[in-house]
Amino acid sequence: MLDGARISVIGGTGKLGSAIARRLAKNGRAVVIGSRSQASAAESARQLGHGIEGLTNIDAATVGDVIIVTVPFEAQTRTLEEIAPVVRGKLVIDTTVPLAPPRVMRVQLPPEGSAAARTRAILGDECRIVAGFHNVAAHKLILDDTIACDVLMFGDDKDDREIAIELADAMGLRGLHGGALVNSAAAEALTSVLIFLNKTYKVDGAGIQITGELIPPDATTAQQKIAT
């Protein structure tokens, strides 16, 4: 479904954003990274290579077909308010985790229930939203190694979740349907637990894997959708 789509990573000069942009570009996708400053976006894009372009966040959001938001929790609201006018009808993949430094090992979900619910409140119903990539360690993702971490995708539209899963797969990760957008609370909260595990068990980037024999849903139906 993503053939030819331009993917814009908002906050793409950050650790997670850079890592996502690089993996997607290496996989042959057209990728733009956005930053508050065009100059630093261009410089990061140059360093990342693989044809990545650097623009301001608003320009990146304007030219992108799929928008991946990778900004710290404290920048979530102002960034989304900035890009809201230009992302109507587009798929926005939100990676925001509600970490409130310095107590990042403590689950602190926002009053809305999840960062994803806040994104929905800011962007409104005209926007397509999937939340994901909460639990993958950015410092591992920036390297080419295999990563032992599943990526749960949450959203109220199954086809939109499927696109996000396709992106995760393109990055060498296993993407999985995690259910409704409100379910994002589970993965968001889990990030604080993983940070706690990293410290307590001296792990270099703990992750999660779903166990059990998973049979992909409606494999045939998805094929038919692409064919028609």
Interface residues toward a copy of itself, by CB under 8 A: 105-109, 113, 148-149, 152, 176-180, 182-183, 185-187, 189-190, 192-194, 196-198, 200-217
CB of 23 to a copy of itself, least distance (A): 18
Nearer to a copy of itself, 39 or 143 (CB): 143
CB of 209 to a copy of itself, least distance (A): 5
Nearer to a copy of itself, 6 or 15 (CB): 15
The C-alpha atoms of residue 83 and residue 73 are separated, in whole angstroms, by 16
The C-alpha atoms of residue 37 and residue 155 are separated, in whole angstroms, by 30
Query: The tokens of 226 are what?
Result: 């692409």
CB of 138 to a copy of itself, least distance (A): 15
* Helices 73-83/115-123 angle, 10° precision: 20
CB of 174 to a copy of itself, least distance (A): 11
Nearer to a copy of itself, 121 or 214 (CB): 214
> How far does CA 47 lie from the centroid of its chain?
21
Nearer to a copy of itself, 200 or 223 (CB): 200
3-state secondary structure of 154: strand
- Whether 68 contacts 141, CB under 8 Å: no
The C-alpha atoms of residue 194 and residue 46 are separated, in whole angstroms, by 32
